[in-house]
Amino acid sequence: MTRTWAIATREYASFFRTPLGWIVAALFLFLSGLVFAQQTLRPGEPASLRSFFGVWWSMLVFIAPSISMRLFAEELRTGTIEPLMSAPVSEAGLATGKFAGALMFLMTCLAPTLIYAGVLEALSRPDYGPIAAGYLGVVLLGMMYLSVGLLFSSLTSSQTLAFMLTLFVLILSEVGATAAAARLDEPWAGIARSLSVQPRIADFARGIIDTGHVSFFLIMSAFFILSTALALRVRRWH
């Protein structure tokens, strides 16, 4: 646990030591500010961040892979993976540590957006339930996207490739699930629908915390983190 935490904190700190981390954070805040100003901060709109959360999932499709792409790919390219994987750290500990570092960075990017809730408070009387639920949904979705990116980052030494593959899979799964849900018969349509994240995020934005949705994101994240650990273990055989 000490080791996992050491990896997580080093990873988190390294986002601030490289230009990439700052650029991602700036881009994210710029886009979310734009969305807030354009869609929420208008006369007559309800004092909620609902539409704001509604578009965040599509922003995360780009932001999460740009955070996750370097996690292992960078270490594989520079060779620092070797002292890391010959240190007494388990593959699962390594994958979890990297994931936790990336998640902490994503949450750091999200933190300044809390100011929007403050803006709403100043102008009107927002309902904090849906806002809290919305943030929970965004964090859970971010976890799943980061874990997918973590896996692809462990498979290649090219950050660009890791980014592209993650982006491709995230978009394909969303578009594919929606298309399949519309065309296939039951029970396949139901399975396809359950893989789509958009309706789940919409529920969170409405203020509904469904344990089904929460478990979905947690289980998917755990699955991809463990797959990463497996991919690292397989690497020792080659």
78: contact with other proteins by CB under 8 A = yes
* Cα(114)–Cα(134) distance, integer angstroms: 11
Q: Examine residue 236 and tell whether it contacts other proteins (CB under 8 A).
A: yes
The DSSP call for residue 48 is S
Q: Does 83 bind other proteins (CB under 8 A)?
A: yes
Q: Rounded distance, CA 165 to CA 55, Å?
A: 22
Measured between alpha carbons, how far is 21 from 24 in angstroms, rounded to an integer?
5
Q: At its nearest, how many Å lie between other proteins and the CB of residue 48?
A: 39
Asked if residue 238 binds other proteins (CB under 8 A), the reply is yes
Residue 42 makes contact with other proteins by CB under 8 A: no
Residue 89 makes contact with other proteins by CB under 8 A:
yes
Q: Which of 43, 44, 88, 187 binds other proteins (CB under 8 A)?
A: 88
Q: Is 183 one of the binding residues for other proteins (CB under 8 A)?
A: no
Q: How far is the CB of 94 from other proteins (least distance, A)?
A: 10
- Closest CB to other proteins among 78 and 160? 78
In the set 37, 87, 123, 219, which binds other proteins (CB under 8 A)? 87
**Rg (alpha carbons) of the chain, rounded to whole number:** 19
CB 60 within 8 A of CB 174: no
C-alpha to C-alpha distance for 167 and 159, rounded to whole angstroms: 12
Only segment of 32-40, 72-80, 108-116, 179-187 that touches other proteins (CB under 8 A)? 72-80
How far apart (Å, rounded) are the C-alpha atoms in residues 107 and 97? 15
* Candidate list 37, 46, 90, 129; residue touching other proteins; CB under 8 A: 90
Among the residue ranges 82-90, 151-159, 185-193, 206-214, the one whose residues contact other proteins (CB under 8 A): 82-90
Q: Which of 234, 213, 221, 180 is nearest to 98 (CA)?
A: 221
The count of C-alpha atoms lying within 13 angstroms of the C-alpha of 3, restricted to the half-sphere facing its C-beta, is: 11
Residue of the chain from 27, 29, 61, 85 that contacts other proteins (CB under 8 A): 85
Q: Is position 23 an interface residue for other proteins (rule: CB under 8 A)?
A: no
Of the two residues 38 and 78, which places its CB atom closer to other proteins in the complex?
A: 78
79 Rama class: left (phi>0) / alpha (psi -120 to 50) / beta: left
Cβ-based nearer residue to other proteins, 10 or 183: 10
- CA distances 187 to 180, 190, 193, Å, are 11, 5, 10
Positions touching other proteins (CB under 8 A) are: 1-3, 5-7, 10, 13-14, 17-18, 78-90, 236-238
